[in-house]
Amino acid sequence: MRQIELYPVPLDQAYDVADGIQLPGLVTTIESTPYWGYLCANPADAARFVERFGAARYPTVDPAVFLMVTSAPDVTEDWYDEIKVEMTLVEFGAVHDQHRFELALW
């Protein structure tokens, strides 16, 4: 079963990880997206980000991390806390490929 996930990493880093663990190129797709992740300092800032830009919170294991994802073109630096992350789409040929990728990435 094919798995598709969005990751907060630059495109070149996703390629490097995939190459490093030798993911099969015929069934693995890595693409740039129009989405960016923006780190917010607290829940109130994250809520404003949702309201203003239609953002969604990226799932993390740390409840204190508010990485908000949106493709809105009008986000300026005064809306987030200095960290802007490229979001990259990866389609895996199998679940175990996704697990290997995530182990190498994180």
Q: What is the mean pLDDT of residues 87-97?
A: 94
Write the pLDDT tens digit of every residue in 54-77: 999 999 889 999 999 999 988 887
Provide the pLDDT confidence category of residue 87 given band limits of 50, 70 and 90. Answer: very high
Question: Would the pLDDT of 78 be above 80?
Answer: no
Q: What is the mean pLDDT of residues 27-50?
A: 93
Question: Would the pLDDT of 1 be above 70?
Answer: no
Which letter does DSSP use for residue 73 in this model? T
Q: What is the pLDDT of residue 76?
A: 82
Q: What is the mean pLDDT of residues 77-93?
A: 88
Q: What is the pLDDT of residue 21?
A: 94
Q: What is the mean pLDDT of residues 29-57?
A: 93
Which letter does DSSP use for residue 85 in this model? E
How far is it, in rounded angstroms, from Cα 59 to Cα 80? 18
pTM of the model: 0.85
Q: What is the mean pLDDT of residues 14-18?
A: 95
For CA atoms 44, 47, 52, 53, the dihedral sign is positive
